[in-house]
Amino acid sequence: MPESYLTDTKIRELKGDFSSWDKYVKSHSKGTIYHLSSWKRAVENTFHLQGRYYVLCRDEKILGVLPLFLVKTLFSGLKLVSIPFAVYGGILANSLEIRKELLNYAINLSKELGANHLELRNLGSVDEELLESDLYVTYIRELEKDDEAVLLSIPRKSRASIRNGYKKYNLTVKVDQNLDLLFHLYSLNKRKLGSPQYPRIFFENLLIEFREQAGIMTVYTNGIPAASVLFFYYQDTILPYFSGSDDHFFHTNANNVMYYELMKHALDKGLKYFDFGRSRKNTGSSKFKENMGFTPMPLHYNYYLRSSEEIPDISPSNNRFQLAIKMWSHLPLPVTKFLGPKLVKYLP
């Protein structure tokens, strides 16, 4: 690949020591936990993919970063994506000029590698020259100053559900590392939704990589586990990511209580923001988050298409997949636990 046209700068693939990369990500206003090298290693060690992480430097000083994975997908062939198995990604740069240079590099690389398309999962609108999908939204807001203010910020109906959960169903909460329990509840949820689940080893690798930056919260009703969530800390933000619940305890409002307790936990840790993550618009997940007091923000997933005219749609919203989703939701749980991890690698 050619060097950058910017004076005295060059683009190179970073290998080995990623301390300078992580330092740059943490210093950038648009940097996310998914940009960190820890996420790269967790993906590589789980799915046996090789990340291609590029830096644009001047005199060894990083001015921009470009994290990429080449992934073979189930329905659209090879794609170059930033970042797989994550909700945010894309280019981080010190200027628009540097960003465009890295974007051009990514486009040329996708051609060179024979990828059918390039996908950049931008949190903000930045790559206006590319096609954009508006399928997903995200939910991020600043937390109130104390537990009572957090509760009052939740809309009345959900607030009543939380109070009812405590009083009527004796809900209690524990923060621990009970991965077996989380994975079981998560697998129940994914089967219900008709979607293959990630392998348990991905959860293990994330906990290994992020260590004190990760935790698991579980809600119990009369001592029986009802809901659980794996969450991360990044800078001044808490991010719930993988979650699951047992439908037998849906009436207890365990999910409402769990996320309220996670907001309280964030305050105890001195954090400022709650990132509820992405959802497809107008789904049960998006409605739940809005009912918890969050406002949707657009996600700007941008695409360069090399061999097609339409952005690939492999989401559950695609009518092509409705029969498969319905069939999957009726499979025995051991079957989905076995087959899901084998399929999800091709649905990054």
pLDDT for the residue numbered 315: 67
CA distance 198 to 342: 9
Q: Which of 53-67, 232-246, 334-348 has the lowest mean pLDDT?
A: 334-348
The answer to whether residue 79 is domain-embedded is: yes
Contact 40, 67 (CB under 8 A): yes
Do 308 and 199 lie in one domain? The reply is: no
Q: What is the predicted pLDDT for the residue at 249? A: 96
Same domain, 143 and 254: yes
Average pLDDT, integer, range 50-77: 93
Q: Give the pLDDT mean for 171-176.
A: 94
Per the prediction, the chain carries an average pLDDT of: 92
From the list 2, 26, 181, 257, the residue with the least C-alpha distance to 109 is 2
pLDDT at 65 over 80: yes
Q: Let me know if 283 is exposed, middle or buried by CB neighbors in 10 A (0-12, 13-18, 19+).
A: middle
What share of the chain has pLDDT > 70, as a percent?
A: 95
Counts for the chain of helices (H) and strands (E), in that order: 11, 15
Cis peptide before 325 (omega within 30 of 0): no
Percentage of the chain beyond pLDDT 90 is 80
Label residue 4 by pLDDT band (50, 70, 90): very low
Q: Per-residue pLDDT for 197 more than 60?
A: yes
pLDDT of 283 > 70? The answer is yes
User: Has residue 114 got a pLDDT over 60?
Assistant: yes
pLDDT of 312: 74
Q: pLDDT tens digits for 119-152?
A: 999 998 777 789 999 899 999 999 999 999 999 9
Look at phi and psi of residue 104 and say left if phi exceeds 0, alpha if psi is from -120 to 50, else beta.
Answer: alpha
Q: How many domains is the chain partitioned into structurally?
A: 2
Q: Is the pTM of the predicted complex or chain greater than 0.85?
A: yes
User: The domain containing residue 120 runs over which residues?
Assistant: 10-134+299-314
Which pLDDT does position 2 carry in this prediction?
A: 42
CB 257 within 8 A of CB 173: yes
Q: How far apart are CA 285 and CA 141, in angstroms?
A: 17
pLDDT category of residue 242 using cuts at 50, 70 and 90? very high
Q: What is the distance between the alpha carbons of residues 48 and 244, in angstroms, rounded to a whole number?
A: 26
Return the pLDDT at 314: 67
Q: Which of the pair, 176 or 230, is modelled with greater confidence?
A: 230
pLDDT over 70 at 6, yes or no: no
Q: Is residue 342 part of a domain?
A: no
Q: Which of 57, 56, 87, 53 is nearest to 70 (CA)?
A: 53
Report pLDDT for 322: 81
| 344 occurs within a structural domain | no
How far apart are the C-alpha atoms of 96 and 336, rounded to whole Å? 45
pLDDT tens digits, 292-322? 999 999 999 999 998 776 777 666 666 776 8
The string over 175-192, giving b where at least 16 C-beta atoms fall within 10 Å of a residue's C-beta and e elsewhere, is eeeebebbbbbbbbbbbe
For the chain, first and last CA: distance in Å?
Answer: 26
Is there a domain that residue 339 lies in? Answer: no
pLDDT reading at 14 higher than 50: yes
Give the mean pLDDT of 9-27: 94
Residues 6+ apart with CB under 8 A from 81: 68, 69, 71, 89, 118, 119, 120, 121, 348
- Regarding whether 163 and 84 lie in a shared domain, the answer is no
Same domain, yes or no: 38 and 185: no
For residue 31, pLDDT beyond 70: yes
* pLDDT score at 59: 87
Distance CA 87, CA 92 (A): 15
d(CA 110, CA 26): 27
Per-residue confidence (pLDDT) for residue 3, from 0 to 100: 42
348 within a domain of the structure (yes/no): no
More confident residue, 320 or 33: 33
Q: Do 293 and 303 share a structural domain?
A: no
Give the C-alpha separation, 213 to 203, whole Å: 13
CATH number of the domain bearing residue 154 = 3.40.630.30
> Which residue's entry shows tokens 């933000």?
237
| 145 in the same domain as 72 | no
DSSP line for 121-175: EESSS--TTSEEE-SEEEEEEE--SSHHHHHHHS-HHHHHHHHHHHHHH-EEEEE
Residues 103, 194 share a domain: no
